[in-house]
Amino acid sequence: MSSRARFWGLFGVILVVILGAFGGVSWKLYQELPELDSATMTWMQNGFLYLLMALFLLLLVMVQIWAWLDKVLIQPLIHISRAVAIIANADPAHEIRLEPDHLLGALPESARQMGTALLHARRQVAETLATHAEGLERLEKVIKHLNVGLIVINADAAIVLYNVAAQNLFRNRLDALGLGRSVYELCARTPLETTMDFLNRCHSVPGGCEEKGDARFFCAALHDDVMLDCAMSIFPGRQLGHHYYLITFEEATRRVSGLRRSDRLIRHALENIRGPVANLRAAAETLMAYGDMESEARERFVRVMHDEVGELSVRLDSIATEADTLAAEHWILNDVLTSDLIDALARRRERDQRAPVTAIGEPLWIQADAPALLLALECMLEKIGQQVGPVPIEVEALMGNHRIYLDLIWAGSPVSASQVESWHAINLEDGGVVIRLEEILERHGCEVWSQVHRRAGHAMLRLPMAPSPRQWRFPVQQIPERPEFYDFSLMGSFETLGTRLAMPLGGLSYVVFDSETTGLHPSQGDEIIALAGVRIVNGRVLLGERFECLVNPRRPIPVESIRIHGITEEDVRDQPFIEEVLPRFKAFVGNSVLVAHNAAFDMRFLQLKEESCRVRFDNPVLDTLLLSVYLHDEVTDHTLDAIAERLGVDVQTHLRHTAMGDATVTAEVFMKLLDLLKAKGISTLGLAMRASDSMVRIRRQQAEANY
């Protein structure tokens, strides 16, 4: 029961007591009326009428006073209580807004000062922690950018740390690479377990691991036929007897192949230059030993030296070419923002006084070797200019089928496929290393093609690029929230969760997700067209661990829905069906708690597809909308934007109303709500689910009353 309900309940009790007392007195007088004479009875009747009028006026005055107290005291107190809870647990900079006629005196200003002091104190603590954590941050940056895949696991083989190189190495199983996930979902179990047991045994002997060093081994990656060259080391955790294991991974097949080719190159070089060098040495020694040699003989020896030098030069050129090829195979792909790439390209074109290059659309993240890709783009722009003339070029990045399309657009006709194919043999020079255009494109997994652009009179050259895990998509305009959905029977049975109900909220793994759909009626044929989720582990939103996918709905997308999420039928035409996407999403979720805003809406879409996709979402579910209603029942606006503003969560409007954008905002909001729940005594999963469930009936009644 809210504070206002208790306040008006007290008024009701007082009113009942007064009416009860008046009724008791009236009943007593009524019983004595037959014993009174007529004059006394008339006087009593008039007195009773006056008393009744006075009681009515008294009650009217009491109602007015009680309503006035509710406005100037009770409601401001409730607002101050909610604001102080937000200041203490979510946003110290939260603004307290009260009507000026309240009776709280200096209490709001004191609360504001408390918030300011708390904000200052937290900043000081953060600065202190930042100062002491500089070394750790540097170490984290070094680990993050190591070219060797690195994963740290605990004794249960759960992943506690990994770097970008590991993401690149296990790019086909990114759904299984995440904090808290088992490393056995990535690699064969036996080699890892055997090595962990070996390190545990040698660690029990003083100095044992230090003497033996890292344990090296090979294991197979589960996602394809790649053998991994691994090294594992052990280090102690904070608690006695708890160990962590640092594992580095390299593709053994590629590494061994490179070593073999390098070895062949060295042996080939020695064999090829040994003969010419020996001949040159013999000729030189002969000339030096016989200074009086006849001119004809001397000329023969000089000719031999000239021929051998020429042969040696040819062989050295061949060796240099092969060495360049080996060097080109060790490129490293990094995250690159397309706007940065296009800006660099435009500056180069401007410097060389060539036709301008302009970026259009929103920037997207790709994985590329930026210097090599710039060389390739420059080369292709040069060739386009030779074919169609010095026309301005626009470059646009678009989301495609698991790829990002980098489109070079110009006014004119497309370049023929044979012409594009002929470009592949062009040699480009990068820092003294000669690289074929074809090698750069192959390294980026890029098959270039030219076609007519959707803009009339224009053509384009399309380069499909690998997307970065940082990628977001579909910037759209700010629009209203979708309506709430009230099929809350999907929340599941508490009994099936067993001991998980008693688990603390801070120790659980969550997947915060959102979907975009063709419409608002899942039972009437509307379908999912985008699905995204981010993971929360140990109280941290892991933006690097995300699931994001477009879905082909096998049906048209209404114009009204496109205005909301910006996803067109062209965007989803070549995307996978829900039967492929949903099992992948379930693998990403695992046993985590599902979190969403207006969760029943998204869960209904998922559960209607369980049978056809052969998956089951029996995970516990928490709803940020219901949790917000529970915490702030006197507030009427519980849209995602309103909650975010109330709790001090920064909302990037250009990312809202995309599946990934909404999932990210919801995750940040959920983290704030967890702190508020803890302050209110809601510390376990079971308590949080019961708090949410208690709000279901209220929200449904409110919706029916407003209908």
Dihedral angle computed from the Cα positions of residues 355, 359, 360 and 362, in that order, rounded to the nearest 10 degrees: 170
Output the CA–CA distances (angstroms, integers) from residue 632 to 116, 251, 273, 701, in the order listed: 22, 53, 83, 17
- E strand or H helix at 443, and its extent? helix 437-443
C-alpha neighbours within 13 Å on the C-beta side of residue 486: 12
Output the CA–CA distances (angstroms, integers) from residue 691 to 466, 623, 666, 696, in the order listed: 44, 10, 19, 9
Output the CA–CA distances (angstroms, integers) from residue 634 to 115, 161, 481, 519, in the order listed: 22, 42, 20, 31
**Measured distance CA(225)–CA(227) in Å, rounded:** 7
Angle between helices 659-679 and 640-647 (to 10 degrees): 50
Can you read off the two tokens belonging to residue 590? 């695992």
- E strand or H helix at 545, and its extent? strand 540-550
CB-CB neighbours of 86 under 10 Å: 25
The residues annotated as belonging to the active site are 657
Q: Please, what sign has the CA dihedral across residues 372, 374, 380, 383?
A: negative
**What DSSP character marks residue 553?**
-
**Measured distance CA(379)–CA(359) in Å, rounded:** 18
- Alpha helix locations (H) across 230-353? 252-289, 295-328, 338-351
Can you read off the two tokens belonging to residue 617? 């979402």
Nearest alpha carbon to residue 553 among 541, 563, 540, 562: 562
What are the residues whose beta carbons fall under 8 Å from the beta carbon of 586, sequence distance 6 or more? 615, 617
- Alpha helix locations (H) across 519-658? 559-565, 569-572, 578-589, 599-608, 610-613, 624-631, 640-647
β-pairing, 227-236 with 334-337?
A: unpaired
Amino acid at 204: S
- E strand or H helix at 194, and its extent? helix 189-203
Nearest alpha carbon to residue 490 among 602, 626, 589: 602
Residues 245 and 232 sit within 8 Å (Cβ to Cβ): yes
- E strand or H helix at 41, and its extent? helix 38-69
For 142-204, the three-class secondary structure string (H helix, E strand, C coil) is HHHCCCCEEEEEECCCEEEEECHHHHHHCHHHCCCCCCCCEHHHCECHHHHHHHHHHHHHHHC
Amino acid at 258: G
Bridge partners of 420, per DSSP, are none
Output the CA–CA distances (angstroms, integers) from residue 396 to 345, 393, 401, in the order listed: 13, 10, 16
